[in-house]
Amino acid sequence: MKWSKSYIYTLKEAPADAEIPSHKLLIRGGFMKKLAPGIFTYGNIGLRAIRKFENIIRDELNKRSAIEVLMPMVHPRELWEETGRWSQMGEGLLKFQNRNSQWFCLGATHEEAITDYVRNDVKSYRDLPKNIYQIQTKYRDEIRPRFGLMRGREFIMKDAYSFDADQAGALKTYDQMYDGYKAIFDRLGLNYRIVQADAGNIGGSQTHEFQLLAEAGEDSLLVSDTTDFAANIEVCPAIDAENHAASVQEPLKPLEKFATPNQRTIAELEKFTNVAAIDLVKTLFFSANEGFDPKNKDLMPFAVLLRGSDELNPIKVKNMLGMSNPPQMLTDDEVAQVAGANPGSCGPVDLEIPIYMDNGVVTLKNYIVGANEDGFHFMNVNHVRDFKATKVGDLRMAKAGDKCPLSNGRLKAFRGIEVGHVFYLGSKYSKMMNAQFLDAQGKAQPFEMGCYGIGVTRTVQAAIEQSHDADGIIWPKAIAPYLVHMCVLDPKDQSLMAVAEKFYDELSSQGIDVLMDDRDERPGVKFKDADLLGMPVRVVIGKRGLDSNEIEIVQRKTKAVTKIHPERFIGTVKEILALS
């Protein structure tokens, strides 16, 4: 592609809403442009990177006998009612009516659509397994789209769905996809981790996330320093051996109410009572109501007890209670209604709602909690004698320094960008949607399913978040829009252009795509743009160089400069590309 014939408009400054480097660079390089919050036009060079990544995905999935289809973006309400997700998905699902007042939504994910497709075709175990995928535009009405393609509203996803006759088969398919994902992300040459994860409201049990490591990542990961254990903090078991050591062997003391005027937070109470936060117990209040209409909210309150120094993990609460979404915290007024006091003075004694207790509290004795009366707390509170927890379990956030669940090693914290996700779904959707096949005995069975997503546009941006410098993007070779950026220093010089065109054709014919900067611009402008756009190799064709039989080749990543005789030019470019 010649720049003069292309559609590339670079910018000196990034717009104010671009907060992280990859977002700024994609906009500045003209790879994409915002149409509305979370909605972007992919420019031609941006699209080239996206298509290259899509083709890597296709290549690895086709090798594993996955079949590509393309499903609709607009789905009828009835389909989503079959699984209950029409309401369960909440506001993320964008719903609208057509001229006949029929309801539809934009596809946010395609479990329903694919299950409908398959239930109409696959009738026998002999046809199984089937693994079907698409690369398609998704729409999720994200509350807060941000960071460009990282959290968009409209974005490209690769989603695959597998159908097996039994669980063993489904888990085998899961492993194949897991390996396929490894192959895909290895080809990008980026730093990623595979972590245990939460299934969100897709449902299912076994699940892993593929996370690119980057400071700007929205996910917190905990990775063992000794084993290959790695988990998203949302599901990481909390085992901090030292802090929650076996309980002190002390006798139970009599319960006593004492005044704590204006002591609302754990930090205040810590100072006031001279008891460390870790030995205090806090009570948090939530609603188990999963409805999304705030006006019709039936409170369904429950309380959670934690050590004062611990942080609640809402995903663990969601999973303990079998909810499809994390619970909503009660407002101060709602807490007062339920417990009779401000949240800072509330506790479990005489509380008439379900109480879920973190296992960190189990080992404590004679502790302090709110007395459900403003400005008062109880001391010497003990579980069983003074209140009874409905259930005890792991409800707190694990943190860096905690014990690795598989060894005596420690956990280290990283930030990650979730680029891929594999789920074993079981028969959740096939049962709800009555999608069955006949097994070898002629008996109708629901399909065993799995689903597998890759955020295509998110990955392309995440790659840049991990691979850039102060001057611009450093594209991983596998998805670089062009491999070679050719700067022709004086495009009006016809003999120089003739040489440039010859090299351009030769490289192109060998499968090396070239962006030729043939603009009538100063060399400095061209070099700056070449650094910003970030193709792996920049070559400089100038009169002075050619007169002395020299072509300059600069590697974008290292900035290493090689000066080479024109005769050895093509071979050297190929060598450098093979190595980089």
Q: Which two tokens stand for residue 265?
A: 């937070």
Instruction: Locate the DSSP E strands across 43-129.
Output: 67-68, 74-76, 95-97, 103-106
How far apart (Å, rounded) are the C-alpha atoms in residues 497 and 569? 16
DSSP state of 479: G
Our CB check for Mg ion shows the closer of 207 and 263 to be 207
H or E element, residue 493: none
**Residue 157: strand pairing partners:** 136, 455
Which option in ligand ATP, Mg ion, none does residue 348 bind, with CB closer than 5 to 8 A by kind?
Answer: none
Min dist. Cβ of residue 416 to ligand ATP (A): 10
Our CB check for ligand ATP shows the closer of 140 and 477 to be 140
Our CB check for ligand ATP shows the closer of 181 and 387 to be 181
Min dist. Cβ of residue 465 to ligand ATP (A): 13
CB-based contacts of 398, cutoff 8 Å, min separation 6: 222, 231, 233, 236, 237, 238, 239, 240, 313, 411
Which option in ligand ATP, Mg ion, none does residue 420 bind, with CB closer than 5 to 8 A by kind?
Answer: ligand ATP
Which option in ligand ATP, Mg ion, none does residue 455 bind, with CB closer than 5 to 8 A by kind?
Answer: ligand ATP
How far apart (Å, rounded) are the C-alpha atoms in residues 190 and 183? 12
Our CB check for Mg ion shows the closer of 244 and 421 to be 421
Our CB check for ligand ATP shows the closer of 53 and 356 to be 53
Which option in Mg ion, ligand ATP, none does residue 173 bind, with CB closer than 5 to 8 A by kind?
Answer: none
Our CB check for Mg ion shows the closer of 104 and 429 to be 429
Our CB check for ligand ATP shows the closer of 235 and 507 to be 235
H or E element, residue 327: none
Q: Which two tokens stand for residue 524?
A: 């400095």
Which option in ligand ATP, Mg ion, none does residue 152 bind, with CB closer than 5 to 8 A by kind?
Answer: ligand ATP
Min dist. Cβ of residue 178 to ligand ATP (A): 14
Our CB check for Mg ion shows the closer of 52 and 421 to be 421
17, burial (CB in 10 Å: exposed 0-12, middle 13-18, buried 19+) = middle
Comparing CA positions, the residue from 323, 321, 322, 315 lying closest to residue 397 is: 315
Which option in ligand ATP, Mg ion, none does residue 396 bind, with CB closer than 5 to 8 A by kind?
Answer: none
Min dist. Cβ of residue 450 to ligand ATP (A): 13
Strand order through the sheet with 551-555: 514-517, 484-488, 537-541, 551-555, 561-564
Which option in ligand ATP, Mg ion, none does residue 32 bind, with CB closer than 5 to 8 A by kind?
Answer: none
For residue 17, CA distances in Å to 9, 24, 36, 38 come to 19, 9, 12, 11
Cis peptide before 237 (omega within 30 of 0): no
Our CB check for ligand ATP shows the closer of 420 and 545 to be 420
Residues in the chain: 580
Residues that bind ligand ATP (CB under 6 A): 109, 140, 142, 151-152, 155, 157, 200, 418-421, 453, 455, 457-458
Helix (H, G, I), strand (E, B) or coil at 180: helix
Min dist. Cβ of residue 419 to ligand ATP (A): 5
Our CB check for Mg ion shows the closer of 60 and 209 to be 209
Min dist. Cβ of residue 207 to Mg ion (A): 8
Min dist. Cβ of residue 449 to Mg ion (A): 16
Report the residue number whose CB is nearest to ligand ATP. Answer: 455
Min dist. Cβ of residue 197 to Mg ion (A): 7
CB-based contacts of 465, cutoff 8 Å, min separation 6: 20, 21, 22, 150, 212, 214, 216, 417
Which option in Mg ion, ligand ATP, none does residue 526 bind, with CB closer than 5 to 8 A by kind?
Answer: none
Which option in ligand ATP, Mg ion, none does residue 461 bind, with CB closer than 5 to 8 A by kind?
Answer: none
Min dist. Cβ of residue 171 to Mg ion (A): 19
Comparing CA positions, the residue from 347, 333, 321, 322 lying closest to residue 297 is: 333
Which option in Mg ion, ligand ATP, none does residue 545 bind, with CB closer than 5 to 8 A by kind?
Answer: none
306, 284 contact by CB (below 8 A):
yes
Min dist. Cβ of residue 377 to Mg ion (A): 41
Our CB check for ligand ATP shows the closer of 130 and 158 to be 158
Our CB check for ligand ATP shows the closer of 201 and 380 to be 201
- For tokens 């999720």, the residue is 140
Min dist. Cβ of residue 341 to Mg ion (A): 39
Which option in Mg ion, ligand ATP, none does residue 180 bind, with CB closer than 5 to 8 A by kind?
Answer: none
How far apart (Å, rounded) are the C-alpha atoms in residues 70 and 251? 67
H or E element, residue 207: strand 207-213
Min dist. Cβ of residue 457 to ligand ATP (A): 6
246, 278 contact by CB (below 8 A):
no
Our CB check for Mg ion shows the closer of 421 and 477 to be 421
Angle at 193 between CA 315 and CA 314, to 5 degrees: 5
Min dist. Cβ of residue 149 to ligand ATP (A): 6
Which option in Mg ion, ligand ATP, none does residue 142 bind, with CB closer than 5 to 8 A by kind?
Answer: ligand ATP
Helix (H, G, I), strand (E, B) or coil at 308: coil
242, 151 contact by CB (below 8 A):
no
How far apart (Å, rounded) are the C-alpha atoms in residues 284 and 303? 5
Which option in Mg ion, ligand ATP, none does residue 109 bind, with CB closer than 5 to 8 A by kind?
Answer: ligand ATP
Min dist. Cβ of residue 454 to Mg ion (A): 10
Our CB check for Mg ion shows the closer of 138 and 421 to be 421
Which option in Mg ion, ligand ATP, none does residue 456 bind, with CB closer than 5 to 8 A by kind?
Answer: none
**Residue 40: strand pairing partners:** 34
Handedness of CA 19, 21, 22, 26 (dihedral sign): positive
How far apart (Å, rounded) are the C-alpha atoms in residues 552 and 546? 10
Residues that bind Mg ion (CB under 5 A): 421
